């Protein structure tokens, strides 16, 4: 059944939208959690009741409207319950990434002035207790699994154990308006300390209101189901995979851990998946690596399927061939995603054309959009019925986009943040005359479709004065099955060089096929033969680009850039400046 969008008509707050949903769809599944090998449902009535209990406990504990409360927790049903409970009392949620170190946690808590933090337990609780030693504002720490003997940690269950304070809770809810601050979302901080983006209830609701114009959604027992695994501290997952489904009556299943997502997809059978390009690139590489291990006949079947399926208007014979090949190839691959997946929603970074076309050919379309944390986050999206690969779609309902004289994308609308938390200077630099300066370079075609060409501050200007967009080059190269990650370099230099992280599976298979005497990964990465092989592939791939966009020399890295190494943000974006700093000598040596 198509969603009833009236559930958010004239709502003033995010909790109000959820409670409306719970009233009209009380018995429908809101969440799915895994227990003893199967996914079990939590109904909207059960979820709403638990939210009211936690919110009442927060009121009894003395928390006031406007106070900031941190939330450090893995993706799980309680994340949603606690977030909505905080918002229901008019307080402000400050989500924290689980990948944060204690010093990162302390920075966000101190900057936001958080008075309490809710966590799950285990390592997160231990790290949190280290962090709050330097956080004078934090008075309370609540944990689902309180395994600590610290007198600062209290049980979350005790907080929600009392009766629901209906009158007090209703009074709090009635005072929340669309311009009430809902959350402080700290940016990933690719170049400096993260800034707290202030988002109101209205900012996020404006985004939710725009989605039905982009994608048809269905509710009920057989309605759309999402699988939650991207960090809920990230604005994309929080809006699209958290506030959106609970406002419209969809359901959310939670992955056990990041490394069990593939297995959980087959069990939870999601229909819509929020993804980042890096995830789609990895999936594509793994599929291609597995295909390369198959017999020559099966490899030929697979590539024939991609070729035929990739045609926009196959003829009668090709259509018949496609139906047969889809049964033999496509259906089996789609079953790995649960068999019911109908669309990926991609955002957070540019998606390469090759990756998008690959999934489109598998009948797993990718709906690419564009946005920033500062816009809650959605600004533009491809329409489901008119997807244009290579673009990030049209301006969403209620959003106005334009291109400045120097090519920067500017945006305004009800979804744009009021500013950065206690940072007037950054706010004035980013919000100018009512427009959000995105920091991205792009162009809008005659049909209104937006294309991102690069980050304004990442543009490389070579010694010849040519402006080079590194993300354009990197996006082309990572489509190669033998390449996992690339970072280009060459500001004020005569030519481009790059750090390349090869795909271990694909390159090891190639080395074995070549009969190389040494296929140990470290030795292989250090070998001139693999470097020469990848350099040749890179040169061939980049040949259609301008001469100044060619990568002339490369250095191979044994290990990928990761969050743990500090070279990827928690949302898997490359920290370009950090990489330049760490590998500066190596990059400079490529010019020797």
> The domain that contains 491 carries what CATH number?
3.30.300.30
52 lies in some domain: yes
> What is the pLDDT, as a whole number, of residue 199?
98
80 and 221 share a domain? yes
265 and 296 share a domain? no
190 lies in some domain: no
> What is the pLDDT, as a whole number, of residue 190?
47
408 and 491 share a domain? no
Cα distances from 411 to residues 12, 370, 395, 399, 427, in angstroms, run 23, 12, 9, 7, 14
For the chain, the average pLDDT equals 92
514 and 561 share a domain? yes
- Domain span at 524: 459-589
Q: How many domains is the chain built from? A: 3
Task: Indicate the pLDDT class of residue 233, thresholds 50, 70 and 90.
Answer: very high
Token digits for 240? 């699209």
Q: Residue 486 contacts by C-beta under 8 Å, 6 or more apart in sequence? A: 473, 474, 477, 478, 498, 499, 500, 501
259 and 369 share a domain? no
Q: Is the pLDDT confidence value at 301 over 50?
A: yes
> What is the pLDDT, as a whole number, of residue 489?
95
35 lies in some domain: no
Task: Answer for the pair 165, 59: CB distance below 8 angstroms, yes or no.
Answer: yes
Task: Indicate the pLDDT class of residue 348, thresholds 50, 70 and 90.
Answer: confident
Residue 38, classed as helix, strand or coil, is strand
Q: Is the pLDDT confidence value at 517 over 80?
A: no
Mean pLDDT of the 236-258 span: 95
118 lies in some domain: yes
Task: Report the range of poorest mean pLDDT among 62-71, 316-325, 418-427.
Answer: 316-325
Task: Indicate the pLDDT class of residue 519, thresholds 50, 70 and 90.
Answer: confident
Distance CA 249, CA 178 (A): 21
Most trustworthy range by pLDDT among 86-100, 479-493, 557-571: 86-100
284 and 363 share a domain? yes
Reported as a single tens digit per residue, the pLDDT across 60-71 is 999 999 999 999
> The domain that contains 244 carries what CATH number?
3.40.50.12780
User: Rounded to two decimals, what is the model's pTM?
Assistant: 0.85
390 and 495 share a domain? no
> What is the pLDDT, as a whole number, of residue 250?
96
Distance CA 433, CA 534 (A): 48
Q: Is the pLDDT confidence value at 500 over 60?
A: yes
> What is the pLDDT, as a whole number, of residue 188?
64
Of 320 and 496, the structure prediction assigns the larger pLDDT to 496
Q: Examine the fold and report which residue of 455, 487, 506 is the final residue of a domain before the chain moves on.
A: 455
374 and 486 share a domain? no
> What is the pLDDT, as a whole number, of residue 281?
86
Q: Examine the fold and report which residue of 254, 271, 288 is the final residue of a domain before the chain moves on.
A: 271
267 and 316 share a domain? no
Of 318 and 25, the structure prediction assigns the larger pLDDT to 25
291 and 324 share a domain? yes
Q: Is the pLDDT confidence value at 202 over 60?
A: yes
37 lies in some domain: no
Q: Is the pLDDT confidence value at 531 over 90?
A: yes
Q: Is the pLDDT confidence value at 302 over 70?
A: yes
104 and 161 share a domain? yes
Q: Is the pLDDT confidence value at 381 over 70?
A: yes
> What is the pLDDT, as a whole number, of residue 258?
83
Q: Is the pLDDT confidence value at 126 over 80?
A: yes
166 and 287 share a domain? no
Reported as a single tens digit per residue, the pLDDT across 95-117 is 999 988 899 999 999 999 999 99
> What is the pLDDT, as a whole number, of residue 122?
94
User: Which letter does DSSP use for residue 241 in this model?
Assistant: I
84 lies in some domain: yes
> What is the pLDDT, as a whole number, of residue 278?
80
Distance CA 412, CA 270 (A): 33
Distance CA 343, CA 330 (A): 15
492 lies in some domain: yes
Task: Indicate the pLDDT class of residue 133, thresholds 50, 70 and 90.
Answer: very high
201 lies in some domain: no
Token digits for 334? 């789609």
Q: Please, what is the Cα angle at 351 between 349 and 353, to 5 degrees?
A: 160
């Amino acid at each position: 059944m198509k969603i009833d969008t009236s559930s958010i008509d004239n709502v003033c707050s995010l909790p109000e939208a959820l409670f409306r949903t719970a009233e009209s769809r009380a018995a429908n599944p809101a969440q799915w959690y895994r227990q003893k090998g199967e996914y079990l449902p939590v109904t909207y009535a059960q979820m709403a009741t638990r939210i009211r209990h936690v919110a009442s406990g927060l009121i009894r504990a003395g928390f006031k409207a406007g106070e900031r409360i941190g939330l450090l927790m893995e993706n799980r049903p309680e994340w949603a319950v606690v977030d909505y409970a905080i918002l229901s009392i008019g307080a402000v949620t400050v989500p924290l990434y689980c990948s944060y170190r204690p010093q990162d946690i302390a920075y966000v808590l101190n900057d936001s002035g958080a008075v309490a933090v809710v966590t799950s337990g285990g390592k997160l609780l231990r790290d949190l207790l280290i962090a709050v030693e330097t956080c004078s504002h934090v008075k309370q720490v609540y944990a689902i699994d309180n395994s600590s003997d610290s007198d600062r940690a209290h049980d979350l269950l005790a907080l929600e154990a009392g009766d629901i304070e209906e009158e007090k809770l209703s009074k709090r809810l009635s005072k929340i308006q669309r311009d009430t601050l809902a959350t402080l979302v700290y940016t990933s901080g690719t170049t400096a300390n993260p800034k707290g983006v202030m988002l109101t209830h209205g900012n996020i609701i404006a985004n939710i209101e725009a989605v039905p114009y982009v994608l048809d959604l269905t509710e009920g027992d057989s309605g759309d189901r999402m699988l939650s695994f991207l960090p809920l501290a990230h604005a994309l997952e929080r809006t699209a995979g958290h506030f959106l489904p609970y406002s419209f009556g969809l359901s959310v299943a939670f992955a056990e851990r990041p490394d069990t997502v593939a297995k959980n997809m087959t069990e939870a059978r999601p229909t819509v998946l929020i993804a980042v390009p890096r995830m789609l690139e990895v999936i594509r590489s793994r599929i291609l690596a597995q295909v390369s291990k198959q017999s020559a006949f099966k490899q030929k079947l697979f590539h024939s399927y991609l070729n035929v399926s990739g045609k926009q208007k196959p003829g009668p014979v090709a259509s018949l061939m496609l139906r047969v090949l889809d049964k033999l190839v496509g259906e089996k691959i789609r079953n790995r995603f649960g068999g019911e997946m109908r669309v990926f929603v991609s955002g957070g970074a540019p998606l390469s054309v090759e990756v998008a076309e690959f999934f489109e050919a598998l009948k797993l379309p990718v709906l690419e959009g564009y946005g920033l944390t500062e816009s809650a986050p959605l600004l533009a999206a491809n329409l489901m019925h008119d997807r244009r690969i290579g673009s990030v779609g049209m301006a969403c309902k209620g959003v106005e986009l334009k291109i400045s004289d120097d090519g920067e994308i500017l945006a305004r609308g009800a979804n744009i943040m009021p500013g950065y938390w206690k940072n007037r200077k950054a706010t004035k630099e980013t919000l100018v005359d009512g427009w959000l300066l995105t920091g991205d370079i792009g162009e809008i075609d005659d049909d209104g479709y937006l294309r991102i060409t690069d980050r304004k501050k990442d543009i490389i200007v070579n010694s010849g004065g040519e402006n080079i967009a590194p993300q354009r080059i990197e996006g082309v190269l990572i489509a190669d099955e033998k390449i996992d990650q690339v970072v280009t370099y060459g500001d004020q230099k005569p030519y481009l060089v790059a750090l390349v992280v090869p795909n271990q599976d694909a390159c090891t298979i190639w080395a074995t096929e070549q009969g190389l005497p040494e296929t140990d990964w470290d030795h292989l990465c250090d070998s001139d033969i693999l470097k020469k092989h990848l350099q040749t592939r890179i040169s061939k791939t980049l040949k259609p680009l301008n001469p100044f966009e060619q990568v002339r020399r490369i250095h191979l890295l044994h290990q990928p850039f990761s969050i743990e190494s500090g070279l990827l943000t928690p949302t898997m974006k490359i920290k370009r400046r950090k990489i330049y700093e760490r590998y500066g000598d190596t990059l400079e040596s490529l010019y020797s």
